[in-house]
Each structure stands twice: as structure tokens, then as C-alpha cells.
């Protein structure tokens, strides 16, 4: 296996090489960017959600409109949207929410300028991967005037709606879904150009569904601040939506439940899972449901892998039957993998799939995680559609467990997230929790994609996600 540093260098070298491609590699279906427009939307949550120990009650969406021009002179406009996610992607200790958000907006302006200034023709993946080094350089330059540097993960989140808008515009120009436009007739370079010799001659079409799968199990989030039963509710919201876990199970027909844990308080974590298991078991039995699953998210707060192993032992003792229902565990320890080579996940991954999440900033990070024992990957549209397609290919070749998580993505960003999950073979489930925390941002989208936004049987129905571009409709 090639070293992570080798892959990283190759990724950056090939990324900047579009202009040097021979004419034979230039594709008649290529596009170039003509214009980029940026806008923001702000929403308050109906109930707060806790990220890494910090309660969050609002979201800012970054919306991007991209106009492209084909080699034949035809034009098309595409759209992309993503929550800024500053608390999750940039957990700065010395900067407040407004400060990190302002820095991300400044970075968005820089990235917008980079996209506008790129006059090269190419496929969206070509263009995005070519621009990534410049986007990271812009983040580094902005960081010089900040108390803390902008992390790579944060830079990817800011860049993601630009990438999505480009894919959407490209698909609309050609009148087909973006996931159908990754074969040699549209993307000249093979996967070897992006992922190295291991993929020489291979095409993305091998690793993506041309048509969206019919449905995917929906993961519902039980956040650290969320009431589980009626006795946990101090004051009801009375806004017409469920407020306890049994209410949500009945309302959405839930079969998948994601449990947020502290990661640094063993007794609380064990009690929390036991309480969720007890409420779920009682409700599912009342409904006659025999098959449901949990996932665990420790918010990367575990001080070492032994915490996870001890947690597993205690769950076996405290909540009989709960462990068997755990489908996977999200990244339990710190996101800086290079700084913690001792965080070996092999023992934990031998019990349940352990997926890399916050650390997953590119193919080289996935290879490093696998070396450390991670057995799966949590893909996110907030890291870009282009990168996610490449990660999907690498993860499948390495036979890793796959799931798609969201960033409390509403509206168009949820379409991007579900669309990704629906076109990647082997994805176990899709998380979609904006319906819980910021349903106001979904208004208007339910009529376009009722199967995605109106869940009744525990599944997100994806048949409407085969339209042009990213299927916004």
C-alpha cells in the first residue's frame, strides 16, 4: 500500500495539471465556469443540538449559484447549498461562534473568486480537484490574521456548495443526472489520475449507481439535549412535531436511531444508551417491529480506545440486547490521526464497524484511518460531491463499511446528501435530522421531493433523485 504522504503529493500534483492535458484528453462535454453568485440564509432551531459539548440553536446556509458554458457555447445554471457548520468543522477554543462564522464567510468570498477566475474547461471533478489546493491556500492566508487557523475540514465545508453547484450546472447542461456523467465520454481521466496506480484504467461508473436506489433507512438523532421519554420534557414546544423518542418512532416509523454520547463520562454514556434502548424496545414491541438498529457517536471525545472497549463491556452488562443492535460506531477519538498513531481501532472494529468521520478530509486520510484499524467511512456531502465520489471508490475497493451522515442539512443540502447516499453502492443508511431541529428550512421542498422530506415508514425514498444535475427539481 502506498504511503499517505505519497498519495497526498500525487493528489496535489495531478490536481493542478488540467491545463497541461494533451488535446486528446480534452473532452467535448467539458465546461468552464462563467459566473458564481453567493447568498446566505439564517434559521433558528426549534430545539438546540449539542456538538462537541457546545449547544447550537441556529444555522447559516451558504447558497451558491454557478453558471457554466460548454465548448459549444451553451449555458446552464446550477445550485448548491450547505450549512456552514462552524461548530462542528472548526471547534475553535479561542474564537466564538460569530468569529468563526465570519471567517468562513470571508473564505467563501475568496473561494468564489477562485471559481470565477478559473477559465479552464473540464469536468466538475477535474475543476474542483484542480481548485482545491488554491482553496486551502486561501484558508491558510486568511488564518494568518486569526487566533486559530482554519482547519482543512472547515475549508472543505465552505467549498462544498461551489462543487455541488458546478455538478448541478453540468448535469443540467447535458440534461442528465450528475451521477450518470462520470464515464469516459464525460470524464476523460480515469480514477488512476486521482487515486493512483491502484485504480489505473478504472472508471467511476464501476463505483456509482447510475440510478438512485429506491429507498434508504433513515437514521434519527437522539442528541445529548433531547428528551427520551415524557418525564424528560421540562416544557413542551407544542409546535405539532414529536418531542420524545417514542413519539418520533411512531411519527416517522423509525428503524434506525443514532445516539449522541459524551465520550468522557462513562456512567452517563452507559445510562443514555440503556435509556434509549429501553424506550425503543417498548415502543417497537408495541408497533410489532422486530428489526431496528442503533449507531453511536462519541463526538471524538474518548481519550483512548480503551474507553470504547470498556463502554462495550458495560453495555453488555447494563442493557442486555442493546449491543447486538448497534450497527456501527462513529469516530470515537480525536480527529488528528497523525498526532495520535496510538489510537488503534482494531480491537473495537473487531466488535462493530468503526467509521472515520471528522478526520475524513481526503483519500490519504482514509488510508491512514484504515491502517489504524478503522473499518468504515462516514461520507458527507459537506465535504463535496467530487471528493465523496472518489472516497466512495476507494472505500469500496478496500471493502469498508459505508454510511452517509449529514450536517443537519435542510432543503437543497439534504437533496445533495441523500443523492450521494442513493448513488453509492453499499451505503447502509442515511442520517437526516434537519426535520427534527430546523424544519422551517425545509419549507417548500416537501412538495418537490415528498419521499425525501416526509418520512413515514423509516425510510427515505429516493426515486425522485434521478433528475438533471443534482435533482433539485
Query: 294 and 438, same structural domain?
Result: yes
Query: 142 and 24, same structural domain?
Result: yes
Query: 232 and 263, same structural domain?
Result: yes
Query: 316 and 181, same structural domain?
Result: no
Inside any domain, residue 369: yes
Query: 137 and 226, same structural domain?
Result: no
Inside any domain, residue 467: no
The CATH number of whichever domain residue 344 belongs to comes to: 3.20.20.120
Count of structural domains within the chain? 2
Query: 59 and 93, same structural domain?
Result: yes
Query: 254 and 334, same structural domain?
Result: yes
Which of 179, 206, 233 is the C-terminal boundary of a domain?
A: 206
Angle (CA) 352 275 460, round 5°: 60
Inside any domain, residue 15: yes
Q: Could you list the residue range(s) of the whole structural domain that residue 433 is in?
A: 208-461
Inside any domain, residue 473: no
- What pLDDT, on a 0 to 100 scale, did the predictor assign at position 19? 44
Query: 199 and 228, same structural domain?
Result: no
The answer to whether 56 touches 87, Cβ cutoff 8 Å, is yes
Query: 35 and 87, same structural domain?
Result: yes
Query: 227 and 202, same structural domain?
Result: no
Q: Helix/strand/coil (H, E, C) string of the chain? A: CCCHHHHHHHHHHHHCCHHHCCHHHCCCCCEEEEEEEEEEEEEEEEEEEEECCEEEEEEEEEEEEEEEEECCCCEEEEEEEEECCHHHHCCCCCCCHHHHHHHHHHHHHHHHHHHHHCCCCECHHHHHHHHHHHHHHHHHHHHCCCCCCCCHHHHHHHHHHHHHHHHHHHHHHHCCEHHHCCCCCCCCCCCHHHHCHHHCCCCHHHHCCCCCCCEEEEEEEECCCCCCCHHHCCCCCCCCCCCCHHHHHHHHCCCEEEEECCCCCHHHHHHHHHHHHHHHHHHHHHHCCCCCEEEEECCCCCCCHHHHHHHHHHHHHHCCCCHHHEEEEECCCCCCCCCCCCCCCHHHHCCCCEEECCCCCCHHHHHHHHHCCCCEEEECHHHCHHHHHHHHHHHHHCCCEEEECCCCCCHHHHHHHHHHHHHCCCEEEEECCHHHHCHHHHCCHHHHCHHHHCCCCCEEECCCCCCCECCCC
The CATH number of whichever domain residue 92 belongs to comes to: 3.30.390.10
Inside any domain, residue 378: yes
Which of 206, 233, 266 is the C-terminal boundary of a domain?
A: 206
- What pLDDT, on a 0 to 100 scale, did the predictor assign at position 25? 61
Query: 171 and 225, same structural domain?
Result: no
- What pLDDT, on a 0 to 100 scale, did the predictor assign at position 260? 97
C-alpha cell at 230: 415524557
Inside any domain, residue 471: no
pLDDT tens for the chain, 473 residues: list them: 333 333 443 443 344 444 444 444 689 999 999 999 999 999 999 999 988 778 999 999 999 999 999 999 999 999 999 999 999 999 999 999 999 999 999 999 999 999 999 999 999 999 999 999 999 999 999 999 999 999 999 999 999 999 999 999 999 999 999 999 999 999 999 999 999 999 999 999 999 999 999 999 999 999 999 999 999 999 999 999 999 999 999 999 999 999 999 999 999 999 999 999 999 999 999 999 999 999 999 989 999 999 999 999 999 899 999 999 999 999 999 999 999 999 999 999 999 999 999 999 999 999 999 999 999 999 999 999 999 999 999 999 999 999 999 999 999 999 999 999 999 999 999 999 999 999 999 999 999 999 999 999 999 999 999 999 999 99
d(CA 97, CA 91): 9
Which of 178, 206, 234 is the C-terminal boundary of a domain?
A: 206
Inside any domain, residue 472: no
C-alpha separations of 17 from 82, 193, 236 in Å:
28, 10, 57
Query: 356 and 223, same structural domain?
Result: yes
Amino acid at each position: 500500500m502506498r504511503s499517505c504522504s505519497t498519495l497526498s503529493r500525487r493528489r496535489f500534483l495531478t490536481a493542478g495539471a488540467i491545463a497541461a492535458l494533451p488535446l486528446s484528453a480534452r473532452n467535448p462535454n467539458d465546461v468552464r465556469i462563467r459566473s458564481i453568485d453567493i447568498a446566505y440564509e439564517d434559521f433558528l432551531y426549534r430545539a438546540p443540538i449539542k456538538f462537541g459539548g457546545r449547544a447550537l440553536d441556529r444555522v447559516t446556509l451558504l447558497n451558491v449559484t454557478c453558471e457554466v458554458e460548454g465548448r459549444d457555447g451553451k449555458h446552464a445554471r446550477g445550485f448548491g447549498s450547505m450549512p456552514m457548520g462552524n461548530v462542528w468543522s472548526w471547534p475553535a477554543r479561542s474564537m466564538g461562534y460569530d468569529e468563526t462564522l465570519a471567517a468562513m464567510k470571508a473564505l467563501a468570498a475568496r473561494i468564489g473568486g477562485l471559481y470565477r477566475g478559473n477559465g479552464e474547461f473540464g469536468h466538475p471533478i477535474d475543476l474542483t480537484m484542480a481548485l482545491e489546493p488554491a482553496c486551502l491556500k486561501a484558508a491558510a492566508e486568511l488564518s494568518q490574521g486569526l487566533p486559530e487557523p482554519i482547519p482543512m475540514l472547515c475549508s472543505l465545508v465552505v467549498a462544498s456548495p461551489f462543487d455541488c453547484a458546478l455538478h448541478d450546472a453540468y448535469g443540467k447542461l447535458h440534461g442528465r443526472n450528475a451521477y450518470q456523467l462520470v464515464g469516459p465520454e464525460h470524464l476523460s481521466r480515469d480514477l488512476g489520475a486521482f487515486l493512483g496506480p491502484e485504480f489505473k484504467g478504472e472508471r467511476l461508473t464501476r463505483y456509482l449507481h447510475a440510478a438512485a436506489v429506491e429507498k434508504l433507512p433513515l437514521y434519527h438523532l437522539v442528541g445529548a439535549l433531547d428528551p427520551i421519554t415524557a418525564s424528560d420534557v421540562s416544557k413542551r414546544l407544542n409546535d405539532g412535531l414529536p418531542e420524545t423518542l417514542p413519539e418520533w418512532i411512531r411519527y416517522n416509523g423509525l428503524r434506525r436511531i443514532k445516539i449522541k454520547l459524551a465520550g468522557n463520562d462513562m456512567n452517563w454514556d452507559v445510562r443514555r444508551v440503556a435509556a434509549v434502548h429501553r424506550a425503543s424496545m417498548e415502543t417497537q414491541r408495541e408497533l410489532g417491529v422486530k428489526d431496528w438498529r442503533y449507531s453511536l457517536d462519541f463526538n471524538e471525545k474518548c481519550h483512548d480506545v480503551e474507553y470504547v472497549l470498556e463502554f462495550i463491556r458495560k453495555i453488555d452488562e447494563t442493557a442486555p440486547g442493546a449491543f447486538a443492535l448497534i450497527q456501527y460506531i462513529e469516530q470515537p477519538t480525536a480527529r488528528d490521526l497523525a498526532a495520535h498513531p496510538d489510537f488503534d481501532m482494531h480491537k473495537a472494529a473487531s466488535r462493530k464497524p468503526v467509521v472515520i468521520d471528522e478526520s475524513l478530509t481526503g483519500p490519504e486520510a482514509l488510508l491512514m484511518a484504515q491502517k489504524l484499524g478503522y473499518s468504515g467511512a462516514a461520507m458527507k456531502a459537506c465535504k463535496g460531491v467530487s471528493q465523496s465520489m472518489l472516497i466512495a471508490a476507494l472505500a469500496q475497493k478496500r471493502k469498508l463499511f459505508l454510511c452517509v451522515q449529514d450536517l443537519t442539512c435542510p432543503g437543497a443540502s439534504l437533496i445533495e446528501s441523500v443523492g450521494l447516499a442513493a448513488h453509492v453502492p453499499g451505503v447502509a443508511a442515511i442520517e437526516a435530522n434537519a426535520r427534527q431541529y430546523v424544519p422551517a428550512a425545509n419549507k417548500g421542498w416537501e412538495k418537490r421531493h415528498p419521499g425525501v422530506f416526509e418520512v413515514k415508514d423509516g425510510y427515505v425514498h429516493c426515486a425522485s433523485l434521478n433528475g438533471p444535475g443534482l435533482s433539485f427539481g
